[in-house]
Structure formats: structure tokens, C-alpha cells
Amino acid sequence: MIPAHDITGLILAGGRGARMGGADKGLQNFNGMPLALHTLMRLQMQVGEVLINANRNLAAYESFGVSVWHDALPDFAGPLAGFMTGLEHCDTPWLVTVPCDTPLFPLDLVQRLADAATAQEAEIAMACAPEADGALRPQPVFCLLRRELMESLHLFTQGGGRKIDAWTGQHRTVYVNFNAPGDDPRAFFNANTLDELRQLESPVRS
């Protein structure tokens, strides 16, 4: 078992929001509150501490009451830049990452990733979930990873690497399926547009 206090949560809110007209996704309204704040509240109950990775509107994110850090790499380098930032500022043995634009992610996400990592003695546990076509696919921005991987990720990104699966493929990775009876089929649906965000608002299921 990995206790919750040994896991730091990282909310990835550092993207350009290109498919949302350049809007800062994490600050868009979702059921009456900023999307990243909703994500924070959902993640806080699963981990010991939460950090936010953002590259603009830092004061707005800081108003949520948690530490906010910008990318360790320049030019909106993608999720791995957020991973790197989280590992650099993580004080626990494990870091779990979630994006700010997937507000219905499971309330037992971290527990199931942690249980699988422990059982398989893995360095990384990654969620897999059904997509629109029904196929079960990895969800690489939902990752639990050991803090000791920071050096490996630093070397990978400094060498120009940007693809999550290319890096995780170098380590002992376990894939955790979230397609059991009772799992919300929309749990890993990410809102890339404002219309998609509105579609997720009602009904909201835990």
C-alpha cells in the first residue's frame, strides 16, 4: 500500500488551449467554479498535497491556495514539461498527474493506480480507459510515477524528447484499466472546446 500522504498530486494546466480559442482551460467555468478548482477539489481528497502547473494567469491559480509552478522547459513544451516541473517540486516518494480539462476523473483514481504500482513493483502506473470508439487506450496524462524518475526525465527532455509513451516505455510501467462495471464511461473525457465542456456539466456523476 502507498499511503495518500506519500503522493503529491499535480494538476496540468500549462497548455496553450489552442482548440479552445487560446483560452486558459483551467480558468473556464464548470458548474459554477473554475475548471482547475473543481479538479483540485476532486484530487485533494486522494493525495497528501496538490500542486498546479500553469504558464499564465499564475495569480489566479495561486488564489486556489496551493503552490503553482510554471514549466521547467520553455515554449509550452507539452505534458512532459509539466511532469518535470512536478517532480522538481515534489516532496513525496510519488507524484500523480491529472489534466485540468477532465473534470469527471475517478474519485478512486489514485488508489487504483497506487495499488497496481505496488502489486507489480512498477515505477509508473498509467490509466487506460474506453474512448469514443469503445477501444481501451492508455491515458498518458493520468500517471503515477516515482520521484526518483526525475533524472531520467530530465535527460529525456533535454535530448528533445516530448512524447510521454516514448519516455514511460523506458521504465517498468503498469497499465490500469478503468472499464469495470460501475466506472463512469465519461470519466476520462477531456473537454477541448467550450461546447464539450458544457456537455460534461449535466448530469455530473462521481
The end-to-end CA distance of the chain, in Å, is: 24
**Which residue, 72, 76, 74, 66, is CA-closest to 10?**
66
Q: pLDDT truncated to tens, each residue of the chain (206 aa)? A: 899 999 999 999 987 665 666 789 999 999 999 999 999 999 999 999 999 999 999 999 999 999 999 987 777 668 999 999 999 999 999 999 999 999 999 999 999 999 999 999 999 999 999 987 888 999 999 999 999 999 999 999 999 898 999 999 999 999 999 999 999 999 999 888 888 888 888 664 44
Helix (H, G, I), strand (E, B) or coil at 152: helix
As given in the structure block, the three cell numbers for residue 172 are 517498468
Query: pLDDT value at position 18?
Result: 58
Would you state the torsion angle of the CA atoms of residues 43, 45, 46, 50, taken in this order, to the nearest 10 degrees? 50
CB within 8 A of 96, min separation 6: which ones? 7, 8, 9, 10, 43, 46, 47, 109, 110, 113, 142, 143, 144, 145
Query: pLDDT value at position 206?
Result: 45
**CA 147, CA 151: separation in Å to the nearest integer?**
9
Q: CA triplet 4, 105, 200: central angle to 5 degrees? A: 150
Query: pLDDT value at position 204?
Result: 47
Residue with cell 497548455: 15
Query: pLDDT value at position 205?
Result: 47
Torsion sign (Cα): 174, 175, 179, 182: positive
Q: What's the distance, CA 42 to chain centroid?
A: 12
Residue with cell 467554479: 33
**CA 65, CA 39: separation in Å to the nearest integer?**
13
CATH class held by domain 4-199: alpha beta
**Which residue, 90, 107, 79, 89, is CA-closest to 5?**
90
**CA 193, CA 28: separation in Å to the nearest integer?**
10
Which amino acid is present at 199? Q
Task: Name beta bridge partners: 8.
Answer: 49, 95
CB atoms within 10 A of CB 142: 26
